[in-house]
Amino acid sequence: MDELHPKERLLMGPGPSNVGSRVLRAMSTPVVGHLDPEFCRLMDDVCAMLRDLFKTANRLTFPVSGTGSAGMEAALVNTLEPGDTAVIGASGVFGQRLADTAGRCGATVVTVDAPWGEPIEPAVLIEILKKYPQAKICAVVHAETSTGAWQPLEEIGAYLKNTKTLFVVDAVTSLGGVPVEVDAWGVDVCYSGTQKCLSVPPGLAPITFSGKAEEAIDARRTKVQSWYLDVGMLRKYWGGERLYHHTAPISMIYALYEGLRIIFEEGLEARIKRHAEVSRELGIGLADLGFTWFARQGYRLPQLNAVYPPQPGIVEPLRKKLLAEYSIEIWRIGLMGETCRLANVAVLLDALRRELP
């Protein structure tokens, strides 16, 4: 077996995004114990920064050990019990995964569809919610990575605030790239992943639960099906008690700490503006080359472009060539976190200009 020497890639796919040297350095610092007083202080700092990132005052805000999918599971296994009703917006791969996961929790799933590439009309979703006042949750994907569609949330949140239904939002691809306002929008459970706009390696899923969500969890009739993701127990470790639950992935928490420090050094608003501006440049360049978008105009995510090339049938050879000869990874074209730089847009557009037939 040879020593590990992964290639330097320009990661312009749907995630992971490029990770900066400060985050990588943080990961190579000494591992301490998961109950070390210094580490406990770091945990508090990470939670405080996550609250600022989610724009929430929610006490129960912490990183789940696991990738974005662990965040999704944690959101659903804790809020749903067998027999509950879950209304799920499912107009893409991740919306469908939410529906699948809710079904596995024993919920009766009501899916609300829209053509892929379109957001779910809030008014349509609200009409359906009126038919299911008993729904325990309503879950939608804020940034549907499979289509590049940007789901509006405010109207849905404003409606759900006055109901018993919890508003669950997948912000895996949105957090840190476009505005996410958990408290202002009335979101009760919001989860994300480190590997996209936060530019921290895959491995943690920041999550936040409102007081309404905690009350619903406390009122459960049955135990949470997953021991590992049971927030009733996890909050005793992440909260003041520091009761051992599982060994926290120390080096990943270091990485998230440094990644969050970088975000707040830049400023969250400035970072979101950068995503919008750099993406605009990419959009102009791709349109010049004849690319067209899958998502509907007006609902396109700046950080994730699902595009068709001008000639059909060239996607696979083009993708392979970009990886092999330019060390650029694309699937859909992502501009997330560290990757979202004008210089990277120029490199990609130049490579595309050379390689398009």
Ligand X SMILES: Cc1ncc(COP(=O)(O)O)c(C=O)c1O
Binding residue for ligand X, selected from 195, 208, 279, 344, defined by CB under 6 A: 195
> x/- site string to ligand X, residues 197 to 236, per CB under 6 A?
-----x----------------------------------
The verdict on 170 binding ligand X (CB under 6 A) reads yes
As a whole number of angstroms, the distance between CA 250 and CA 190 comes to 23
The number of C-alpha atoms within 13 Å of 88 and in the hemisphere containing its C-beta is: 27
Nearest distance, CB of residue 67 and ligand X, angstroms: 3
For ligand X, the closer of residues 43 and 304 by Cβ is 304
The number of C-alpha atoms within 13 Å of 130 and in the hemisphere containing its C-beta is: 7
Query: Would the CA dihedral through 259, 260, 263, 266 be positive or negative?
Result: negative
For ligand X, the closer of residues 248 and 352 by Cβ is 248
Torsion angles phi and psi, residue 11, rounded to 5: -90, 95
Within 135-154, which residues bind ligand X (CB under 6 A)? 141, 145
Within 314-353, which residues bind ligand X (CB under 6 A)? none
Contact stretch for ligand X (CB under 6 A) within 35-43, 76-84, 167-175, 308-316: 167-175
Contact stretch for ligand X (CB under 6 A) within 170-178, 247-255, 284-292, 345-353: 170-178
User: Biggest alpha carbon distance in the chain?
Assistant: 62
The verdict on 68 binding ligand X (CB under 6 A) reads yes
- For 261-347, list the strands marked E by DSSP: 292-293, 304-305, 307-308, 328-329, 333-334
As a whole number of angstroms, the distance between CA 172 and CA 151 comes to 13
> x/- site string to ligand X, residues 38 to 67, per CB under 6 A?
-----------------------------x
The verdict on 69 binding ligand X (CB under 6 A) reads yes
As a whole number of angstroms, the distance between CA 291 and CA 279 comes to 14
What residues have CB less than 8 Å from 331, skipping those under 6 apart? 13, 14, 319
Contact residues: ligand X, CB under 6 A: 14-15, 67-69, 72, 94, 141, 145, 170, 172-173, 193, 195, 202
